[in-house]
Structure 1
Amino acid sequence: MQLTVDTCGEISYNKDMDRTILHCDMDGFYASVELLKYPQLKNHPVAVCGNPENRHGIILAKNAQAKKYGIKTAETVWQAKKKCPKLQLLPPHHHKYKEYSLKINEIYQRFTDMVEPFSIDESWLDVSASLKLFGTGREIADTLRETIKKELELTLSVGVSFNKIFAKMGSDYHKPDGTTVISRDNYKDILWPMNVRSMFFVGAATADKLNKTGIQTIGDLARADRTLLTALLGKQGSMLYEYANGLDSSPVSRYSEREKIKSVGNGTTFRRNLQGMDDIKVAVTALSDIVASRLRKYQMKGFGVKVDIKDPEFKVISRQKQLSAPTNLAEEIFHASIEIIASSWRLRDPIRMLTITAINLCDENESEQLSLFDLEGHARQEQEKIERTIDNIRAKFGDNAINFGRVINNDIGIDLDDNRIE
């Protein structure tokens, strides 16, 4: 790697040389975060799932012990319990996962500013310009694993390679708590014998098409005729040919350049179907409160509100309303949502699930306009003070320290502690 230092002290590298890319993937992230509170369950099979009583009975994450029983993400709780009757079930706390994700990415940024989150528990790092400061790619990966283990008591697996695709596949190769280096010298030995289904971006349907043409392994894919792959799969065929041959050149974005949030929403399936406006107001009050508090956390406002309604037959309608002024106030989101529901839904019909989303977001510091709901001037400022005070109380004493009267002791399954900030 050829490094240079410019007049401003910035380290750069020769782009014609191989990059050193890391893909960092947290091990059983949701389950690992939950087990910090329950260390006595660490060596037991554990899964994180929604509340079956609220019809959220799906496995969201599992630890290594549960994985040994064949338990899979997205299967139902009863299927998982059938495989492992002693499976310990824990509820999700999405705000915790978000908090730990931010802490983890802050640690990554100690080594490079080129950090590109791929999901809440995965990130790519380009450490090409950091090698002389922190050692080889493997050494940086091992240092990251030890740092996160020491500071956060969590483990991760890291793939190290010369491109993003192979780094991603490397992080899956040795789990949990492992480092795998996939280089130009060994990628054919490591990756090519693997089933083509293991290739990044190859789903079940694509794998089936490839299998029918005789392509069973990643090596078969790499040696296939590119023209035939394009005829079979379109542009995806050409892309997969490049990936299998290590030809990916996509860059790692800087953390500061990551895409801005485009919407903020929250939805839930209720313990029982909503019947009538009284039920609807309870649900909309809670959901609007969650959406508004998230907007304030992200320092954003929405110019519009979208409501998705699902009935017991799983039919969904989606309606939205544009506001005359951007908002991050629960009161305004509530009124907009109720107006949408009242104008687009027969109130005698039951509702299984509601989702409320703030759309067309802008920075909260952008110029204020008059509110649609006449919370003008002093009155609107007072409402914002009230809602920010509620934020502060919850931050200090817990999410359920203060709630709206109509939401307390509800029987529809609203649990603010599980749904507060994702």
Structure 2
Amino acid sequence: MDHVILHSDMNNFYASVESLYNPAFREKPMAVVGDPKSRHGIVLAKNYHAKQYGIQTGDPIWMAKQKCPDIIFSEPHYDRYIHFSQMAREIYEEYTDQVESFGLDECWLDVTGVQDLFGSGKQIADTIRERVKFELGLTASVGVSYNKIFAKLGSDLHKPDATTVIGRDFREKIWYLPADMLLYVGRATYEKLRSRGIKTIGDLAQTDPSYLEQLLGKNGLMLWAFANGLDTLPVSPTGTRRILKTIGNSTTAPRDLITEDDIKITLYILAESVAERMRREQFCCKGVQIMIRDNQLTSFERQGRLQSPTCTSQDIFYKAHELFNRNKPENPVRSLGVRAIQLITREYQQLSFLEESVKRQKQEDLERAVDNIRSRFGHFSVQRGIMLLDPILSRLDPVAEHTIYPEAFLKSKT
């Protein structure tokens, strides 16, 4: 028997929540934007009126203003978004204990075993939409299918406030759609597919999977399976611990990074954030990846392998700094990112009494002590001496900022 899976996506979530607190936003073009003083001045979310002017998530504020001179901007209030996200989840959990979040505004629900109680998948979806509207004052689009990928696609197809069912007759319903409507087909992947004449989901489904593997690696096989309705990924039960594959953080600096000290300060801040989160999650990493974006908005990533698995900021910084020096951009740097890759749990870390391993353990013990001090007295209670060189650059508290990272970045396609 097929599973019955729902994907609920609350429409224009940030903008819709802000409109509840300020009804004047409802009938005018508006967007939730980051802080331009920190050079985070981009569109995080927009309402449908703004969308009609071609405003997109990720647009700089100046570009949004250029597209629509009358647009209204609102600063984000993440505490509000968390509150409404939790209330929506409470509604979902009245129907099933299999609820898996995909960002603050989206969830998958497996309702296979509850149809005798609540009706068909479509009936449950319609009921949830009505409850979200009546109880929260928001609207949601819900996709219904026998797998997660098509349920997600269904919620994207018709907005706002709609239920879309994609069953086994999916070929006539979705194969004509652009391939980038399929989850995990990002901008770069779609351009690569388009350059080979693979433009629609149907094109992707009918391409030789071995050719897709050659073109995209294992992801090619995965996308071929998704396009053919062969996704078998289960909806995780409520409360399941998320499996982390990488841990990273990035920042747009308050000014261009030009000097060596500018780069070091920023890389140390990011490395400390990544290492602290790894220790908290009981991980070590075997590699480090950096992201560099210059002031002409050209970006690229580079990665390297570590000699031994680590969870210390010192090791992560050294590798990140080495990667940066080998790949310095010609222009000043606008944004930097550091990511720990090839994660392993600490229980699988090989123990050693070699001098290098002993030094690494002492460094880890020292950084854990700093974690404890910062948890009690705040992030800035302990800082490296280099941070005193530039109080503005070193002002970033990456641990606090990463707790609620804008959904525009969390779910952005690459």
TM-score, structure 2 as length reference: 0.67
Q: CA deviation at 1:322?
A: 1.0
- Post-superposition Cα deviations, 1:221-271, rounded to whole Å, max 9, x if no partner, equal 7xx9x99x659x9779xx999999xx7353341315897321111123334
Q: Is the 8 A contact 1:94 1:420 kept in 2?
A: no
Greater alpha carbon shift after TM alignment, 278-287 vs 64-73: 64-73
Structure 2: runs of 5 or more not aligned: 214-221, 406-414
* Cα distance change of structure 1 residues 172 and 338 upon mapping to structure 2, 3 Å threshold: closer
2:337 to 355, 361, 381: 355
Q: CA RMSD in A?
A: 5.1
TM-score, structure 1 as length reference: 0.66
Amino acid at match of 2:278: L
The answer to whether 1:45 aligns with 2:29 is yes
* Cα distance change of structure 1 residues 85 and 297 upon mapping to structure 2, 3 Å threshold: farther
Q: Is the 8 A contact 2:289 2:339 kept in 1?
A: yes
Q: Is the 8 A contact 2:253 2:393 kept in 1?
A: no
* Cα distance change of structure 1 residues 307 and 166 upon mapping to structure 2, 3 Å threshold: closer
1:254 to 235, 238, 245: 235
The answer to whether 1:21 aligns with 2:5 is yes
The answer to whether 1:176 aligns with 2:160 is yes
Please give the alpha-carbon distance, in whole angstroms, between the structure 2 residues aligned to 1:418 and 1:298: 18
Structure number with larger C-alpha Rg: 1
* Cα distance change of structure 1 residues 37 and 170 upon mapping to structure 2, 3 Å threshold: closer
Partner of 1:64: 48
Q: CA deviation at 1:348?
A: 10
Q: CA deviation at 1:288?
A: 2.0
Q: CA deviation at 1:359?
A: 1.7
Q: Is the 8 A contact 2:31 2:72 kept in 1?
A: yes
Q: CA deviation at 1:131?
A: 0.9
* Cα distance change of structure 1 residues 117 and 63 upon mapping to structure 2, 3 Å threshold: same
1:126-205 counterparts in 2 under 5 A?
A: 126-145=110-129, 155-162=139-146, 164=148, 167-181=151-165, 191=173, 196-197=177-178, 200-201=181-182
Secondary structure of the 1:262 match is: coil
Secondary structure of the 1:374 match is: helix
* Cα distance change of structure 1 residues 162 and 393 upon mapping to structure 2, 3 Å threshold: same
Q: CA deviation at 1:153?
A: 6.3
* Cα distance change of structure 1 residues 390 and 152 upon mapping to structure 2, 3 Å threshold: farther
Secondary structure of the 1:289 match is: helix
1:302 to 282, 285, 290: 285
Greater alpha carbon shift after TM alignment, 49-58 vs 382-391: 49-58
Please give the alpha-carbon distance, in whole angstroms, between the structure 2 residues aligned to 1:241 and 1:302: 30
2:67 to 83, 86, 108: 83
* Cα distance change of structure 1 residues 334 and 164 upon mapping to structure 2, 3 Å threshold: closer
Partner of 1:320: 304
Q: Is the 8 A contact 1:54 1:413 kept in 2?
A: no
* Cα distance change of structure 1 residues 195 and 154 upon mapping to structure 2, 3 Å threshold: same
Amino acid at match of 1:354: L
The answer to whether 1:287 aligns with 2:258 is no
Secondary structure of the 2:359 match is: coil
- Post-superposition Cα deviations, 1:148-189, rounded to whole Å, max 9, x if no partner, equal 56787654211224555653443234423333445679997x
Secondary structure of the 1:253 match is: coil
Please give the alpha-carbon distance, in whole angstroms, between the structure 2 residues aligned to 1:389 and 1:110: 41
Q: CA deviation at 1:24?
A: 1.6
Amino acid at match of 2:335: M
Partner of 2:392: 410
Amino acid at match of 1:270: A
Q: Is the 8 A contact 2:30 2:74 kept in 1?
A: yes
Q: Is the 8 A contact 1:23 1:122 kept in 2?
A: yes
Q: CA deviation at 1:291?
A: 1.8
Please give the alpha-carbon distance, in whole angstroms, between the structure 1 residues aligned to 2:136 and 2:16: 10
Secondary structure of the 1:255 match is: coil
Please give the alpha-carbon distance, in whole angstroms, between the structure 1 residues aligned to 2:223 and 2:246: 31
- Post-superposition Cα deviations, 1:260-316, rounded to whole Å, max 9, x if no partner, equal 321111123334332223212321232123323433454433233333444456364
* Cα distance change of structure 1 residues 20 and 80 upon mapping to structure 2, 3 Å threshold: same
Partner of 1:264: 247
Greater alpha carbon shift after TM alignment, 274-283 vs 202-211: 202-211
- Post-superposition Cα deviations, 1:392-421, rounded to whole Å, max 9, x if no partner, equal 656xxxxx7757472784158957454455
Partner of 2:359: 374
Q: CA deviation at 1:71?
A: 1.9
